Amino acid sequence: MKSVSTPYHYCFDVLGNPLRISIIQLLKEKPRSVSELSKQLDEEQSKVSHSLAALKKCNFVEAKRDGKKLVYSLRETFLKNMKGDNLFEAIEAHYKEHGPNCWRCE
Ligand SMILES: [Zn+2]
């Protein structure tokens, strides 16, 4: 197949998982730590950490150290677009900014 589009699907792939979508929904409200997220989602910390690592590799989230804990937040461009609740626009903006550096985008 001849593709006429930039490879946004790599970034969509990373989001194709209910836990990751839930994490994004929670981080849209405010930055949170792994333990806060796993409590909110009633999910094991290891699974939440694994999902966060994937979201971080694909540049959807970033982690900042706050004392002893790491606090995760949505990256600014993605957050701004997510506020409008338009996922496709959010991914497009995300890809424009980070695409070549995203997970599996080589
Ligand atoms: Zn990405």
pLDDT tens, residue by residue, 26-68: 999 999 999 999 999 999 999 999 999 999 999 999 999 989 8
Centroid of ligand 1 to alpha carbon of 106 (angstroms): 11
Between 106 and 47, residue with greater pLDDT: 47
Give the CATH number of the domain where residue 53 resides: 1.10.10.10
- Find the domain containing 83 and state its range: 9-98
Both tokens of 28, joined, read 């849209």
Both tokens of 36, joined, read 């806060």
pLDDT at residue 9 tops 90: no
pLDDT at 70: 93
Centroid of ligand 1 to alpha carbon of 40 (angstroms): 25
Q: How far apart are CA 72 and CA 64, in angstroms?
A: 6
* Residue 106 belongs to some domain of the structure: no
Both tokens of 34, joined, read 């792994």
Give the tens place of pLDDT for each residue, 56-104: 999 999 999 989 889 999 999 899 888 877 888 888 889 888 887 886 5
Centroid of ligand 1 to alpha carbon of 39 (angstroms): 26
Domain tally for the chain? Answer: 1
Which residues is 65 bridged to in the sheet? 70
* Residue 84 belongs to some domain of the structure: yes
* Residue 17 belongs to some domain of the structure: yes
* Residue 3 belongs to some domain of the structure: no
Centroid of ligand 1 to alpha carbon of 44 (angstroms): 24
Centroid of ligand 1 to alpha carbon of 99 (angstroms): 5
pLDDT at residue 105 tops 60: no
**Mean pLDDT, rounded, for 5-19:** 84
* Residue 105 belongs to some domain of the structure: no
pLDDT at 4: 66
Centroid of ligand 1 to alpha carbon of 59 (angstroms): 5
Q: Taking the model in full, what pTM does it have?
A: 0.86
With beta carbons less than 8 A apart as the criterion, state whether 58 and 100 touch. Answer: no
